[in-house]
Amino acid sequence: MLSAHAALGAAAALGTVLAAARLHESLRRQRALSRLDARARAGAIPGPPGVAALQALPAPVQRWLARALPPAAVAPLRVRYEQSGELRAGVDLARWMPFRATHTVAPATLDFVWDARVAIAPGLHLRVTDSLIDGTGSGRVALQSTLRLASVAGGEPMNAGALHRFLAEAVWYPWALRPSPALRWSPIDASRALATLDTGARSVALEFRFDAAGNVAGIHTPARWGRFGGGFQQRAWEGRFGRWIAHRGLRLPLEGEVGWYPEGSSGLGAEAFGWEPVWRGRIDPASIAFG
pLDDT in tens, 51-73: 899 999 999 999 999 999 987 78
What integer pLDDT is reported at residue 1 of this predicted model? Answer: 47
Give residue 4's pLDDT band: very low, low, confident or very high (50, 70, 90): low
**How many helices, marked H, and strands, marked E, lie in the chain?**
4, 13
Cβ atoms of residues 99 and 118 within 8 Å: yes
**Helix, strand, or coil here: 220?**
strand
CB 35 within 8 A of CB 156: no
- Hey, how many other C-beta atoms are within 10 angstroms of the C-beta on 138? 19
Question: Contact, 131 vs 123, CB < 8 A?
Answer: no
Res. 7 pLDDT band, cuts 50 70 90? very low
Closest by CA to 216, choosing from 69, 116, 45, is 69
- Determine if residue 45 is left, alpha or beta; phi over 0 gives left, psi from -120 to 50 gives alpha, anything else beta: beta
Q: Which long-range contacts (CB under 8 A, 24 or more apart) does 259-264 make?
A: 259/91, 260/91, 260/226, 260/235, 260/236, 261/235, 261/236, 261/237, 262/91, 262/235, 263/228, 263/233, 263/235
Query: What b/e sequence results for 224-237 when a residue is b if at least 16 CB atoms lie within 10 Å of its CB, and e otherwise?
Result: bbbbbeeebbbbbb
Q: Which of 278, 104, 287, 134 is nearest to 199 (CA)?
A: 134
24-38, 110-124, 259-273: segment of lowest average pLDDT: 259-273
Phi-psi region of 200 (alpha: psi -120 to 50; beta: other; left: phi over 0): left
For position 20, what pLDDT does the model report?
58
Tell me how far apart the alpha carbons of residues 267 and 259 are, in angstroms, rounded to a whole number: 16
Q: How far apart are CA 195 and CA 18, in angstroms?
A: 45
- Please report, rounded to a whole number, the percentage of residues in the chain having pLDDT higher than 70: 89
Environment class of 16 (CB within 10 Å of its CB; exposed 0-12, middle 13-18, buried 19+): exposed
Q: What is the pLDDT of residue 180?
A: 93
Q: In CATH terms, is domain 18-43+59-290 a member of 2.50.20?
A: yes
